[in-house]
Amino acid sequence: MRTFPMFLQMADRRVVIIGGGEQAAQKTRLILKTEASVDIWAPALDPELSGLAVEGRITHQTGPITPDTFSDTALVFIASGCPGIDMALHWLAKAGGATVNVVDQPRLCDAITPSIVDRDPVVVAIGTEGTAPVLARQIKTRLEEVLEPRLGDLAALAGRMRGAAAARLGPRARRDLWRWVFTDAPRQLFTSGSERAAAKLIKTAIETGDFGATKGGSVSLVGAGPGAKDLITLRGVQRLQEADVIYYDRLLDPEILELARRDAERIYVGKSPGCHSWPQEKITQTLVAAAKRGQRVVRLKCGDPGVFARSTEETDALKASDIPFEIVPGVTAACAAAASAGQSLTERGNIDTLVLTTGHRQSGSTVPDAIKDIKPGRCVALYMAVGAAPQIVAHLETCHPDVPFDVQVVAKAQRKRQTVLNCPLGDLAQILNLHDITGEAMLFVRWPFDVQASNGASMRVPAIV
């Protein structure tokens, strides 16, 4: 980021606006939403600003402008309408120690005015560092549609009750309370116009501590997808925002962790090939211990927790300890890799069977049974199979010498350094070496119904209808 987003305290502070035309009026409308006082310096004011001055909502100044004009200000907006005058005024404002925004001149701006979604006291600011104001307005429009008009009033009500909640409930219970308020019955009541009923429901929940929250710890096994931040599910994001502690894997996009609440503890438990600094047994024991302490735990896994992610060992331990858990699915690597290559995993009339398998077992790299038993009409998606590539090639060339298999390799799918390669079966080892692919790759071996043998004979196998 070239700019840092921040909200300024404006109560009882002074804002100076230079200019009396439409640009100055736009900034005045914005600042009058706050509790700041507004001084406008201009020889004359347009009708809108004149009316505000008559009402006493702004102060109109016509005297000389000096560096002292800008002293003790929260913000200064310069909008004279003349670029040359604006540049000179910018110099005077900086000499007076002000934080300055010069309208339509980003290079002279200390502060950039964002697009704002106003649900006071809930305020959403959208900035593009001056590069794409139209995009900022589009995002604003979407958010205006999503956030109900009375949401700010509900937030204000919650703010008035924070003291009572802090006096009666512990930190974990307070988080659960406010999560319930903003996602469950209180918000629904407030949105429908039943403000009093919502307020009564919240007060009762604070007094009794009963709002449907889980009292003890729990574990969510969350699939983060293939690595890219925007491929985690909405439910996965929600669990990250609720977590007290997050145990996360290798290969994740670090930006995914930015989706978690800031004070959640983050613990790396990644296992690199040949370097198991966190054995699975230790990870499992740690999840159980954290949940027994009453923490809300997220086990963040690459891909989908149910596909080659050793989730069964973790869920068995959680069941044995009577700890509530859930599995939040994610985009598995086979789907992500095929999408990266622009190819479907199945194809009507050619591929009607999809097999997900692995080339790495406890004993090491091996030819999986799905390759040994490959038949026409199948696509075999191989996880963790780069090490087994030579054995896979040798097996297929020996057992099916007349089938012209093509292999697709997708490394680092859906990530910035993604690589998609297609090659004949016999060139696989050379291709992997040439592109230095040693891991983080999916291999696809397809045998369509309709292929030509290397001797030119048709090998079509009729589909079963």
Whole-number Å distance between alpha carbons of 4 and 127: 10
Instruction: Examine the residue annotation and report whether 271 is marked as an active-site residue of this protein.
Output: yes
Q: Which of 39, 86, 249, 304 is catalytic?
A: 249
> Which residue is it, tokens 């999560």?
179
Query: Residue type at 172?
Result: R
Q: Taking CA 368 as the corner, what is the angle to CA 367 and CA 372, rounded to the nearest 5 degrees?
A: 80
Q: Which of 94, 140, 229, 271 is catalytic?
A: 271
Bridge partners, 235 (sequence order): none
Is the Cα torsion angle 273, 274, 278, 282 positive or negative in sign?
positive
Among the listed residues 4, 262, 259, the one whose alpha carbon sits nearest the alpha carbon of residue 114: 4
As given in the structure block, the two tokens for residue 120 are 């006071």
Please state the length of the chain: 465
Sequence-distant (≥ 6) Cβ neighbours of residue 120 within 8 angstroms = 33, 152, 156
Instruction: Examine the residue annotation and report whether 249 is marked as an active-site residue of this protein.
Output: yes
Percent composition of the chain: helix, strand, coil (DSSP 3-state, to 5): 40, 20, 40
- Three-class DSSP category at 31: helix
Sequence-distant (≥ 6) Cβ neighbours of residue 381 within 8 angstroms = 334, 337, 338, 345, 354, 355, 356, 357, 442, 443, 444
Sequence-distant (≥ 6) Cβ neighbours of residue 307 within 8 angstroms = 332, 333, 334, 356, 383
Catalytically annotated residues: 249, 271
